[in-house]
Structure 1
């Protein structure tokens, strides 16, 4: 029965990541804690491994379609590395109840952001805009104002990744569309690249800690997530993004309420 549950949750995580470029960790962490019985510190580390591995395959798929801004994505990942390492170290010593309580707050905030973003996208067509270049290599130049915004968002996403075991895509995608003016398809693919880099950094930040991971669970969960993410990547190109985001926002709100209630009863 547990294997079936792992597969089902893995499929959901992969579909969400493939279609929205975000949200995989936000689903996997509460599932690992409340459905599969893992301690929060182990669940967040497990989530990083799963999300990072799934992200690699999703990035390849989106990259082949030309929907990854490699320079922007790598810059986000490098700038967010410090935050991811810091968050990882804090997470290993944080009180489990505090971690879950803050995670419930994060879920509610994310649901609100996703719902608001879906309404904004109904009034604008981001695919018609040309992305603003804040960083170029040849010749090398940096837009200081947007560079600072990227640094702030990347660092914040890194902290969220390291501490909660989530990719931070819900913050990265809006930043890419609103701050850098990327079309939604390009922002989704680039977000997956950032999520993958942040996840790797987050895992590295937890090396040497006294955490024992269930590798059989990780393998089953990851295989299901990877396969469904490839499906999600194809589906996402044919479904209204606003509708997807609203459905995801409702799901996050329900999970947030459940997480908060469960934390109080622990």
Structure 2
């Protein structure tokens, strides 16, 4: 009898022990990216619920390949150890890139906190953190303070917790490891980590449902998988510390392998056509606008272990190179309005700055520190561009005033006859290293090619640092410093951006970074077509209108550089 009693008691204890951890059923073995996952089961009565959903494959900083793609490029290998040392983890520390904790006891892992973001650095200091206000779930700083360590599934050490915190709360960690972010407007605040029921009202809990009956321990929890979960990604599910099952997230759309996003390439091509048309009309901001399109629409992220910027920027170069090529036939051959000596000297300087000096400067000097100064320069250029259109300024630049009058007369004639507007062409007058003169529509203009070669070096360094063509600096320089009309400045700028694009692309390739081939192909096609359209469309606008468009573009870039972009 005592033996039977002991066996019964032991069975009861074991059953209770198992129930304390929990049992669960997952609604399906396979899902498509973006689908809802539902988990039902039972835990010990009176217990809180902890469901850890962890990507099966772990990431650490010494990997050279992840999910069939190159991981940890040259820049990441230099940067991640420094950031890891500061955050409290090493390159050997490994975590699942995607990890979610669905729980009724969020306080065990952190708390809801207010978060300020956006705005330039001086404004952040004045406002105590940023221009805009929001909230986020902030993980506990120390592993020892976590109240439910045993419920974290594959995350078992302080180093793993530190890396998990870094990957979900730091911009570099999100863009390099997690690739998923909670956004306010279009700005990523942090990555999904600890989730509660949607009834909390938190924006990061939207779409999550957690129902627990503490009296009998039954529960039902559901959440939406990340829309851009890579194809065939496996996940393990742990309920109250015990592994309870697994599932696989399958492909849901056209997958960009290096872009790490689902996106129909046709939409990328359409976007590139629009940006390429705009770019070839004003000769500026092609890379910046394509970058904005990639970040906001395509959401280019890059493979695990590669920072998003190191895939996005090489892809941008496809537009800043091929959009000018699409416009050159009309600008150079048909209308003959390319000042080649200036364009080549400008381009040579840019090439030197982007491929040679730019590599060294960006390696030892953080260009981010100068981004706001660049923003101030850009807005001053925008103001100067608008001031050039005042009657007083036009009277000082009689050649541009006369050229504008001739253009208006040509437009009027075209309307009367029903024909196309005939553009003026460049007629060289004098060639020299420091003195190049030409006539455009009968009006003489003068420029110093050597000066613009030096300026080109500076622009090349900037373009290398930010992965852009540099046209937003080139065109204002030519219209303000050299007093050239937009119809001449734009073709020269496009030559310069071609050189800077080639230099920047070589720089990225030398460091082991390649764009997503499908993404780049779509941008090349769209950019080339846009270049052809923009070169035709430019003469539909007057000098004044083109300068207004340029100024508006510069003001837009000012907001981008100053991070006053919540509304974008």
Contact 1:14 1:228 in 2 (8 A): yes
Q: Which has the higher contact order (CA 8 A, sep 6+)?
A: 1
Task: Measure the CA separation in 1 of the matches of 2:540 and 2:519.
Answer: 32
Structure with bigger helix share is 1
Distance 1:246 1:76, change over 3 A: closer
From 253, 263, 280, the equivalent of 1:2 is 263
Q: How well do the aligned residues superpose, as a CA RMSD in angstroms? A: 3.4
1:21 deviates by 1.0
Give the TM-score of the pair, scaled to structure 1. Answer: 0.79
Q: Say if 2:344 is the partner of 1:74.
A: yes
1:94 deviates by 7.9
Q: Say if 2:328 is the partner of 1:59.
A: yes
Task: Measure the CA separation in 2 of the matches of 1:16 and 1:106.
Answer: 22
1:5 deviates by 4.5
Contact 2:342 2:449 in 1 (8 A): no
1:13 deviates by 1.9
Deviations 1:8-51 (A, max 9, x none): 43133212211101110111223334532241122222212321
Corresponding residue for residue 142 of structure 1: 434
Contact 2:358 2:464 in 1 (8 A): yes
Contact 2:354 2:457 in 1 (8 A): yes
Distance 1:181 1:242, change over 3 A: closer
Corresponding residue for residue 203 of structure 2: none
Corresponding residue for residue 546 of structure 2: 241
Q: Which is greater in Rg?
A: 2
Contact 1:149 1:179 in 2 (8 A): no
Contact 1:86 1:162 in 2 (8 A): no
Task: Measure the CA separation in 1 of the matches of 2:322 and 2:559.
Answer: 27
Q: Say if 2:381 is the partner of 1:113.
A: yes
Say how many residue pairs are matched: 255
Task: Measure the CA separation in 1 of the matches of 2:481 and 2:344.
Answer: 16
Task: Measure the CA separation in 1 of the matches of 2:326 and 2:536.
Answer: 13
Structure with bigger strand share is 2
Q: Secondary structure at the match of 2:540?
A: coil
Deviations 1:120-162 (A, max 9, x none): 1344262647x9x8972xxx55349945532331111111222
Matches within 5 A, 1:1-266: 2-3=263-264, 5-34=267-296, 35-38=299-302, 39-63=308-332, 64-86=334-356, 88-90=358-360, 106=374, 109-123=377-391, 124=394, 126=400, 128=402, 136=431, 142-143=434-435, 146=448, 149-239=451-541, 240-256=545-561, 258=563
